[in-house]
Chain A
Amino acid sequence: MVAFIEIFITFLALLALCGFVAYFTSLPAGAAPLLVLCGTMVWYSIFGCFDLLFVGGLLWFAAALAAAVLLFLRRGSLRLSTLLDPGFVFFLVAGLLVLVLFAVRQPLFMEWDEFSFWGIAAKVVKTTGHLYTFQPGEMRVTTYVPGLIMLDYAFQFLGMVFAPWKVFVAYDLLMLAGFAAALSAFRRRDWAPAAPMAVVLALTPFVLTVYNHSIYVQQIYMSSYADIPMGVLFGAALAVYFAAEKKTPAVLLATAFAVTAESISKDMGFALCLIAAALVCFDLLFIQNGEVVFAKLRGLVAKLCWCAVLVAMPVAAFLGWAAHMGAVLGVSRFDIGGSGNMGMVQMVTTGLVELVGPTRSEKFVNVMGNMVKAFFTTRLTMIGSGLAVAVLVLTVLAVAYYIGSARQKKTAAWFAILSFLGFVAFYVFTGFTYVYVFKDVEAASLSNYNRYIYPYYIGWVVAALAVLARSLADRVAAKVPVRTAVWQGALFAVPYVLLAAFLLPSVARWQAEDAVSYKLQLLILAAGVAAVVAVLGLSLLRPLPVPLVSLVLPALAVVLVLRTAGMIRPQLSVLDYPDSYFAPRREAVAHVQQLKSELHEGERVFYINQGDDGKGWFVNYYDFYPEITLDYSLGGGTLDPATQFNQLRVPVFFTPQQVDYFTSPDVTLTPAVLCDYLQASGCTALYVDNADDAFRQNYGALFTDGLAGGSELYRVEGTGQAMRFVPIETGVSAG
């Protein structure tokens, strides 16, 4: 209950800031949460980098309080109707639902990377009050950008203890704010198309990431992984701009904050934010004919200034984090390492040379060939492959074109081709990372392909819906002259020409290779072409009434609801997952709590889990933190007398002499070296999570009970040759 009150107060503070933005700027109320949350990410990140997180938090709440007081004092002149547009109402209602649901059910972290970074980083920051770069402890990853972790800190700021479910609330509110930004095109009178669009937007993370009938709980909306929020933020940055009727300074500033937040959501976010910035800049420079103001500047100069801001802010964030990494961690952000051991710029230039040059490495040809095939044939979403998503987006944009004003038609047509080319650039860049960063085996299988690609799909769909929302809200379906329709139709045609150029020559070869029919791909392509041709053809005629065309939205919503419900039953989703889903985790947490009670606060414990692939160490490090420090213990995997140390396997606080000793080639983890290591690392206890027969045989003599007593915790007693491990009676035994 206390935790709920804490986060509810934070939510109220967020609403106060949103209210301030909505009432005192020209930003539509629906887009206000996005600006506030992206601003919060940037704000806390700046203070975090200067190790002033607590001050940043105090100032954030002080700003919220000031906003609340101002709103209260001006209450007489403020009309509630300004706030209550569909986007803001959606954010308010959905946000409250998420908040209450998670406060009641309190979901936990479950996935690997939540323990290796996304969850433990948030826990470290909350516990220490410092950015994880300053207090990494035994965290193995500390170079990831901080935006989402800082957003979480804003929601953990009130409260004494870290709560995992608050992380989910923070991320979900960010995603809901992104959807609300797409809905910000609608005024109150437009609630009819806004309702189904809200449903479609809320389902987007499910529809575009789940591709199989689920038989396990899907963690969408209760995960701390950055991929989906990054995708939504990419779309939100575009949505806040394209949904706005007028490109006012507030709208452009919100866009700039959104692309900046995107750049610090995850490393790949930088590539996405540059694509978003480029799409916005093009529209601003070449399509918008309305007045744009920058300070006292107007016209083209003002547009150029805004373009500079849109690029400069994320670039500054990128360079700022690079400088922080260099200063605090002594690590270069530009060295991405990996199989090619290249810098970032070198990777891109090498990739481009291979892409357009006459000679290509075998790995390059194979990976890029697999990437092309995967786009057309790998089922990645509920609606099918990447090809199906592209066709859906282009069709949505065609509808936006059909019912748009003359200017909106231009926007939709250019957005269709440029966002497609943006996708091509993103896809090629991702291909480069497979070629030059990933190991050969991972590159050959396109490891984690879906997680790297679906952020673009999510953002792309959200942005396309925002363009459609703008067209619907304008209610000015313009008839176009034939000449205009032809060249704008050509813009829509380019993506299909490119798709056909890759698909048609390859489909027969793929069919022969896989002995599978790929006729469906040809049908999807044909259907997409037919849909766009039909819609553009109709544009030459007198348009149908906008409300009639907007019925496409409830139809799409119903189809997606049925599709989602068919793929993921409510009992396997955030809505109604069974308590038993988290029962094993809760049991593990309770077990560790019991073990912790037998140890002294601040102790360093060596971890033994034979056969572990590393996850056991990460999970237990997270659970023991912060009272007990789990030593890295050479990675938590299988230990035997032949195991060697390396630079990554020794604690960072070891002296150079200690590092030299333990990493010398002739030093392996013999029982004597294990004792040396425990003494050097300051481990005062051992936690035997799982000991196999080999371990008992090799090290059993060091344990006074010969590891036969079933104890899990052992106290380190004696030094040097006399060191022995004595069981600690815990009242629990190894399972």
Chain B
Amino acid sequence: MKKITGLLKSDRRLLALCYVAFFVGSLAVALFGFAEDRMQRALGNVVTSEITAADFDWVDVEQQPDGTLVSTSYDPRMLLKNCPQYLRTVQVKVEFLNRDPGEFCLFYLPRPDMEEYDANYRVWPHLEADGSYTFTLPHGKIYGMRLDPGIYTNVQFKMDGAVLNPTRGLASYFAPTRVWALCQLVVPALLAGVIKCVTESFVLLKKRGGRQLGGK
């Protein structure tokens, strides 16, 4: 206990403690994410499956004679026919042939009563080294998923399928993101500040109480 009190008395130690604790905590959260994913897989909720372009309903997307796909409007959409409720990540193997698609994004339905896809519920992909695109969805059940392969007419692309809930290695849970890095910088300082203010207030109030009791 005395050691903890000592840590809190020095500003530098307090800050160091908060930075270390938050970092360790964030690692623990990542580890929990890994464990939870494994548990959900063991329970059969999260299932890895491979799908093809044929598993989607196409809107303003057509197949060309050579097998490649092409958008026929500036709002092409591919709606997954049988969307699993537990969808954590989607890895899409797609190659855009004639131009950058502009925005390539994934929409999802977070509630069963939602009839229309909403721009508030969409994610953008991370381009992997092998050229595939990985979308990471928030945890929780979803009730529909749609891929939008671009924002132009005549975007030609070759889709070699997609993997729903691909197995992730342990290391991927610890891959830093910009948000994570910013949190590492800011949150511990905020926490340390709160602890310092609370402890200082406690000491001041105690002194004040002591003076009143002592009649000073």
Interface residues of A (CB under 8 A from B): 93, 101, 189, 191-196, 199, 213, 215, 544-545, 547-548, 550-551, 554, 557-558, 570-571, 575-576, 578-581, 583-584, 586-587
Measured between alpha carbons, how far is A93 from B200 in the docked complex, in Å? 27
Q: Of the candidates B120, B151, B179, B186, which one forms a contact with A213 in the assembled complex, judged by CB atoms under 8 Å apart?
A: B120
Q: Which B residues are in CB contact (< 8 Å) with A101?
A: 178
What would be 6 A-B contacts, judged by CB atoms less than 8 Å apart? A194-B193, A545-B200, A548-B201, A548-B204, A551-B198, A584-B100
Q: Of the candidates A192, A199, A545, which one forms a contact with B196 in the assembled complex, judged by CB atoms under 8 Å apart?
A: A192
Nearest CB of A to B31, in Å: 22
User: In the complex, are the beta carbons of B204 and A570 less than 8 A apart?
Assistant: no
If A545-B204, A545-B205, A547-B200 touch, whether A580 touches B104 (CB-CB below 8 Å) is: yes
Interface residues of B in 126-180 (CB under 8 A from A): 127, 151, 177-179
Nearest CB of A to B213, in Å: 15
B76 interface residue (CB < 8 Å to A)? no
Nearest CB of B to A582, in Å: 10
User: In the complex, are the beta carbons of A554 and B101 less than 8 A apart?
Assistant: no
Q: Which B residues are in CB contact (< 8 Å) with A199?
A: 186, 190
B99 interface residue (CB < 8 Å to A)? yes
Q: Which A residues are in CB contact (< 8 Å) with B204?
A: 545, 547-548
User: In the complex, are the beta carbons of A571 and B124 less than 8 A apart?
Assistant: yes
Q: How many A-B residue pairs have CB under 8 A?
A: 88
B192 interface residue (CB < 8 Å to A)? yes
**Which partner residue on chain A sits nearest B193 by CB separation?**
A192
Q: For the complex, would chain B's binding face be called helix, strand, loop or mixed by DSSP majority?
A: helix
User: In the complex, are the beta carbons of B179 and A583 less than 8 A apart?
Assistant: no
Nearest CB of B to A114, in Å: 19
User: In the complex, are the beta carbons of B179 and A570 less than 8 A apart?
Assistant: yes
Q: Of the candidates B101, B104, B197, which one forms a contact with A551 in the assembled complex, judged by CB atoms under 8 Å apart?
A: B197
User: In the complex, are the beta carbons of A551 and B179 less than 8 A apart?
Assistant: no
Nearest CB of B to A450, in Å: 21
Q: Which B residues are in CB contact (< 8 Å) with A586?
A: 100
B114 interface residue (CB < 8 Å to A)? no
User: In the complex, are the beta carbons of A195 and B189 less than 8 A apart?
Assistant: yes
User: In the complex, are the beta carbons of B104 and A191 less than 8 A apart?
Assistant: no
Nearest CB of A to B180, in Å: 10
User: In the complex, are the beta carbons of B197 and A580 less than 8 A apart?
Assistant: no
Those 5 A-B pairs whose CB atoms lie nearest each other, nearest first:
A215-B119, A548-B201, A578-B124, A192-B193, A547-B200
User: What string of 1s and 0s marks CB contacts (under 8 Å) between B90-128 and chain A?
Assistant: 000000000111111100000000000001100111010
**Which partner residue on chain B sits nearest A577 by CB separation?**
B124
User: In the complex, are the beta carbons of A576 and B197 less than 8 A apart?
Assistant: no
If A191-B11, A191-B193 touch, whether A548 touches B104 (CB-CB below 8 Å) is: no
Q: Which A residues are in CB contact (< 8 Å) with B185?
A: 93
Knowing that A191-B11, A191-B189, A547-B200 touch, tell me 7 more A-B residue pairs with CB under 8 angstroms.
A93-B185, A192-B193, A196-B190, A547-B196, A547-B201, A551-B198, A584-B102
User: In the complex, are the beta carbons of B194 and A551 less than 8 A apart?
Assistant: yes
Nearest CB of B to A677, in Å: 34
If A545-B200, A545-B204 touch, whether A192 touches B192 (CB-CB below 8 Å) is: yes
Nearest CB of B to A583, in Å: 5
Nearest CB of B to A651, in Å: 35
Interface residues of B in 44-77 (CB under 8 A from A): none
User: In the complex, are the beta carbons of A576 and B190 less than 8 A apart?
Assistant: no
Measured between alpha carbons, how far is A545 from B209 in the docked complex, in Å? 12
Measured between alpha carbons, how far is A545 from B199 in the docked complex, in Å? 11
Q: Which B residues are in CB contact (< 8 Å) with A544?
A: 201
Q: Which B residues are in CB contact (< 8 Å) with A554?
A: 190, 193-194, 197
Q: Which A residues are in CB contact (< 8 Å) with B11?
A: 189, 191
Measured between alpha carbons, how far is A263 from B105 in the docked complex, in Å? 43
Measured between alpha carbons, how far is A214 from B206 in the docked complex, in Å? 47
Q: Of the candidates B103, B120, B179, B194, which one forms a contact with A575 in the assembled complex, judged by CB atoms under 8 Å apart?
A: B179
Q: Which A residues are in CB contact (< 8 Å) with B101?
A: 580, 583
Measured between alpha carbons, how far is A194 from B11 in the docked complex, in Å? 14
**Which partner residue on chain A sits nearest B118 by CB separation?**
A215
B42 interface residue (CB < 8 Å to A)? no
Q: Which B residues are in CB contact (< 8 Å) with A545?
A: 200-201, 204-205, 208
If A576-B179, A587-B100 touch, whether A196 touches B193 (CB-CB below 8 Å) is: yes
B1 interface residue (CB < 8 Å to A)? no
Q: Which A residues are in CB contact (< 8 Å) with B119?
A: 215
User: In the complex, are the beta carbons of B190 and A557 less than 8 A apart?
Assistant: yes
Nearest CB of A to B126, in Å: 9
Q: Which B residues are in CB contact (< 8 Å) with A557?
A: 190
Measured between alpha carbons, how far is A194 from B193 in the docked complex, in Å? 8
User: In the complex, are the beta carbons of B205 and A575 less than 8 A apart?
Assistant: no
B182 interface residue (CB < 8 Å to A)? yes
Among A545, A570, A587, which residue has the most Cβ atoms of chain B within 10 A? Answer: A545
